[in-house]
């Protein structure tokens, strides 16, 4: 399609493999040093924020093709970085909160998995189609992109598992009556 050079592809693939290998090693290290998860999250979120600041201030070339179409849309490229910052930050924060306070499990019957999936998707669509457009309109510039992307992933990684865990722990009325002392 003429969008990327072979050098772009080789560099992108190399960086992707390196990130994958480093992430794997980091996760193994975190299994041995579980008390360092907040430190790792803080470092990663800081790196993401630095990347966002760089993307917001980086000069992008204003090159056009033969038809006068802009080849590189700097605003779109920066916006993609802001999306990644929101997603990454939400994943890291949600991961730690879920690990420490929820302990979500999928060791449940398939019918309950289906129920969770449907409820989770409905909640995700409410966030994506109702709440996020309102936030995007209310928040100026890249902040709207970061916040809305954060909200989507945070819901998936922490808020929905927390809601399921809380609902699963609530005893039903009949179970509560069964446990009540008989007179």
pLDDT tens digits along 77-124:
888 889 999 999 999 999 999 988 898 887 888 888 888 899 999 999
Nearest to 142 by CA among 62, 54, 63: 54
Taking only the tens place, the pLDDT of each residue in 37-75 is: 888 888 888 988 888 888 888 887 777 778 888 777 778
pLDDT at 129 over 60: yes
Angle between helices 142-154 and 37-57 (to 10 degrees): 150
Burial class (CB in 10 A: 0-12, 13-18, 19+), 92: buried
Lowest mean pLDDT segment, chosen from 9-13, 147-151, 175-179: 175-179
Taking residues 26-32, what's their average pLDDT? Answer: 87
Q: Phi, psi (5° rounding) for residue 26?
A: -60, -40
Note the pLDDT of residue 86: 92
Return phi, psi of residue 154, to 5°: -60, -40
Residues in the chain: 183
Token pair of 164 as six digits:
């399921």
Query: Domain residues of the chain, as ranges?
Result: 1-32, 33-168
């Amino acid at each position: 399609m003429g969008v990327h050079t072979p050098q772009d592809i080789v560099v992108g693939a190399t960086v992707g493999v390196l990130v994958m290998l480093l992430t794997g090693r980091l996760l193994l290290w975190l299994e041995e040093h579980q008390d360092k998860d907040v430190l790792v999250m803080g470092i990663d979120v800081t790196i993401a924020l630095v990347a966002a600041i760089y993307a917001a201030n980086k000069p992008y070339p204003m090159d056009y093709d033969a038809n006068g179409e802009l080849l590189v849309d700097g605003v779109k490229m920066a916006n993609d970085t802001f999306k990644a910052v929101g997603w990454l930050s939400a994943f890291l924060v949600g991961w730690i909160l879920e690990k420490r306070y929820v302990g979500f499990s999928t060791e449940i019957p398939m019918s309950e998995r289906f129920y969770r999936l449907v409820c989770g998707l409905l909640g995700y669509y409410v966030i994506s189609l109702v709440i996020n457009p309102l936030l995007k309109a209310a928040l100026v510039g890249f902040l709207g992109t970061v916040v809305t992307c954060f909200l989507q992933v945070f819901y998936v990684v922490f808020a929905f598992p927390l809601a399921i865990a809380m609902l699963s722990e609530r005893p039903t009325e009949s179970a509560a009556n069964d446990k009540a002392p008989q007179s």
